[in-house]
Structure 1
Amino acid sequence: MNITIKDIASIAGVSYSTVSKALNDSSLVKENTKRKIVKIAKDLGYEPNFAAQRLVSKNTKVIGLIWPTIERTVLATLVTKISNEMAKTPYSMILSVDPIQKSLDTFKKFQVDGVILFGENTLTEINPNSIPLISYGVSGKKNYHYPIIDANHMKAMDDAINYLYELGHRNIKYVGNISPTDPLQMEKYQGFTKAMEKYNISYTNEDILDTGGLDWYHGYHAVDKMLKSNHLPTAIVGGSYDISGGIIRSLKENNVHIPDEISVISYDNIPQMAHLEIPLTCIGVSVEELAEKIVHSAITLIETKKLDSEVTKMIPSLVERASCATVRNN
């Protein structure tokens, strides 16, 4: 038997309207009444009828999330944090790893109130009136028709190079995926080169190690190849958590001591970095902060149809651990 709001209202001894407000966590319902109604609904196994809800309130309290992959550790962690943050709100989330247009078509069928888009595959053309949409990605120079949460990769790389510079490093290599089709990875690479020039640190093409991918083994093989040359750095900047895990494993297998011989700092800021073979110094906006900003910006956009800024530049944080040290004078 399908349990309805009428059933809950009858048992609770309140109006249908009060039940509806309570289940939507309205401040207009007293807390003790709200708790009573929520408990009755849970005990009865009540499931909201989203189609009916849409007809009455013109919204479903559902947000769609388009994600390119959940295979990489950082992305999987961020998805989890976004889901946890969403659970603190009246909204629910559905996730799609399908291509963007297919995901949007699916979300339209579910009549979601808004969409969060991951910026590895941003859309330059979309009807801003079709559905509220917000992107986590790189603002760059393109004119998008939707708000963007920008993790500020340029600033992160500047902070990383400044940190190494203050430790005395002048021989620094970048190990990352240099992909012209991935704006996030390109901004990290460009941020590295711009920072090296800013701090007057000389570098050549040999100091840019293109991993050709974002997985653990890409970082491992890039550094393994580097160690066979005669151009060893005093410090390495890793382009991502997964890549840096491979960097650390390659250095350890080749008996290169971290950080006494080579320091390592990595982009990305997730809790797992503290639990690698060498606790990893990192730079980037924390996944907790990103998740909170993404979720609440999406809800603000849905409910007000506007945000304070079309581009929100986040502020990266540097977390010091055991993978970097001052350059020793020989």
Structure 2
Amino acid sequence: MKRKPSSRDVAQLAGVSQSAVSRAFTPGSSVKASTREKILRAAKELGYQPNVMARSMITRRSKIIGFVFGYMENQYYPVALEKLSRELQKRGYHSLMFFADSNEPADAIVEEFLQYQIDAVVLASVSLSPDWIDACHSVAVPVILFNRAIDAEDVTAITSNNRKGGREVADFLVAGGHRRIAYLSGFEGSSTNRDRETGFVEGLQAHGLELHVRALGDYRQDLAREAILSLYRGPESSHPDAIFAANDHMALAVLDTLRFELGLRVPDDVSVIGYDDVPLAKALAYNLTTMAQPVDAMVDATVNALLERLDNPGTDAKRIEIEGPLIVRGSARIPPGYDHEKF
């Protein structure tokens, strides 16, 4: 049986040191371009492939980042995951992904992750108990929260500025002349929903208004549809004239329900605003006004924070909030004399 070529064989054929071979196959390492070219040419000739597992035993780094997502129905998460994976791949890291129930703690998934000797965990749209944060940190595995935050020390969280975004939506709807304004809630236990709703209610109160009605959508399109049908069953005087959905995933279902099941005109009869700015929001069929979560900025912040925690374990945890603009399209009434700089 033919012996597998080793890094020593590549070094001998290329006329370089074994450490140069190692550096040539390590993303970000310093090696001359001409030397790297010789090494890669020799490796190809010999059929050499670096042993990632063996290298991880030496460096104590698996170069694997664990991702836990609650669901992928929301278009925001597939876009974010692809961008996160690509950015980390550029830095020499690979992704291992698991799914957990978005409304249940991710503890069992995290326990499984730890068996893979991952370098760090990125959690999105899931819950995590303090006990498992301690478990991750006890084996020096940093925890990064993406688009979610919890009240715990030593956990870096990257979110949009949800509270400020909620206030801006309230300002826009009130300026558009709306007075019976509804909020369609996401998952009650999520920080994103809590902060968006808090900011939204604060914004209404600043204009002397209270929330007209609140309904639970749980970030699900089927529940969003049911909630909207329920809101419009009573007398017309009780019907909302504007709806702020806690994310675009629900807002798209709201638009379909209002137009095709209730026969209402958007935005003439009722305005609708979402949150995220997913790709489908700009489609002409929806033309959704929405508060954007700048996915590129959030991905960059997540990758930088993750690598900082890996390279400098003593780095303090951070709560990073990234502001996004209100994207004004056609699903909400535009206030008279609208000035985009004001909102």
The 1-side partners of 2:258 and 2:39 are apart by 59
The 1-side partners of 2:211 and 2:29 are apart by 59
User: Secondary structure, in 3 states, of the residue corresponding to 1:279?
Assistant: coil
Residue 51 (structure 1) shift: 2.8
Which stretch of the first structure deviates more once superposed, 57-66 or 11-20? Answer: 11-20
The change in CA–CA distance for 1:112 and 1:39 in structure 2 (over 3 A counts) is farther
- Within the candidate set 122, 128, 136, 1:116 is matched to 122
Residue 274 (structure 1) shift: 1.0
The 2-side partners of 1:266 and 1:79 are apart by 21
- Within the candidate set 238, 248, 254, 2:245 is matched to 238
The change in CA–CA distance for 1:260 and 1:20 in structure 2 (over 3 A counts) is same
Match of 1:134 in 2: 144
The change in CA–CA distance for 1:255 and 1:71 in structure 2 (over 3 A counts) is closer
Letter in 2 for 1:31: A
Match of 2:206 in 1: 198
Match of 1:69 in 2: 71
Contact 1:12 1:37 (8 Å CA) reproduced: yes
Match of 1:79 in 2: 81
Contact 2:68 2:126 (8 Å CA) reproduced: no
User: Secondary structure, in 3 states, of the residue corresponding to 2:277?
Assistant: coil
Match of 2:27 in 1: 25
Q: How many residues align?
A: 323
How big is each residue's C-alpha offset from its partner over 1:232-274, in whole Å with a ceiling of 9 and x where there is no partner?
3332111112211110101111332222222211011322311
User: Secondary structure, in 3 states, of the residue corresponding to 2:91?
Assistant: coil
Residue 152 (structure 1) shift: 2.6
Letter in 1 for 2:107: Q
Structure 2 stretches lacking a partner, 5+ long: 337-343
Match of 1:217 in 2: 222
Match of 1:174 in 2: 183
Q: Does 1:105 align with 2:107?
A: no
The 2-side partners of 1:157 and 1:323 are apart by 17
Instruction: Please list, as runs of the form range in 1=range in 2, the aligned pairs for 1:3-18 lying within 5 A after superposition.
Output: 3-18=5-20
User: Secondary structure, in 3 states, of the residue corresponding to 1:323?
Assistant: coil
User: Secondary structure, in 3 states, of the residue corresponding to 1:111?
Assistant: coil
The 2-side partners of 1:153 and 1:9 are apart by 54
The 1-side partners of 2:175 and 2:280 are apart by 26
Residue 143 (structure 1) shift: 3.1
Question: What TM-score comes out, normalization by structure 2 length?
Answer: 0.83
The 2-side partners of 1:108 and 1:305 are apart by 17
The change in CA–CA distance for 1:6 and 1:157 in structure 2 (over 3 A counts) is same
Q: Does 1:146 align with 2:155?
A: yes
The 1-side partners of 2:199 and 2:161 are apart by 10
The change in CA–CA distance for 1:75 and 1:82 in structure 2 (over 3 A counts) is same
- Within the candidate set 232, 254, 258, 1:227 is matched to 232
The 2-side partners of 1:216 and 1:317 are apart by 24
Residue 2 (structure 1) shift: 4.0
Residue 303 (structure 1) shift: 0.9
User: What's the RMSD between the two structures over aligned residues?
Assistant: 2.7
How big is each residue's C-alpha offset from its partner over 1:145-198, in whole Å with a ceiling of 9 and x where there is no partner?
32222333211111211222333333321122352x333323333332222112
Instruction: Please list, as runs of the form range in 1=range in 2, the aligned pairs for 1:241-260 lying within 5 A after superposition.
Output: 241-253=248-260, 254-260=262-268
Match of 1:312 in 2: 320
Question: What TM-score comes out, normalization by structure 1 length?
Answer: 0.86
The change in CA–CA distance for 1:236 and 1:42 in structure 2 (over 3 A counts) is farther
The 2-side partners of 1:59 and 1:129 are apart by 16
User: Secondary structure, in 3 states, of the residue corresponding to 1:121?
Assistant: coil
The 1-side partners of 2:67 and 2:169 are apart by 31
The 2-side partners of 1:42 and 1:103 are apart by 38
Letter in 2 for 1:81: K
Residue 32 (structure 1) shift: 4.0
Match of 1:292 in 2: 300
The 2-side partners of 1:106 and 1:69 are apart by 18
User: Secondary structure, in 3 states, of the residue corresponding to 2:58?
Assistant: helix
Match of 1:94 in 2: 96
- Within the candidate set 192, 197, 214, 1:189 is matched to 197
Residue 91 (structure 1) shift: 1.2
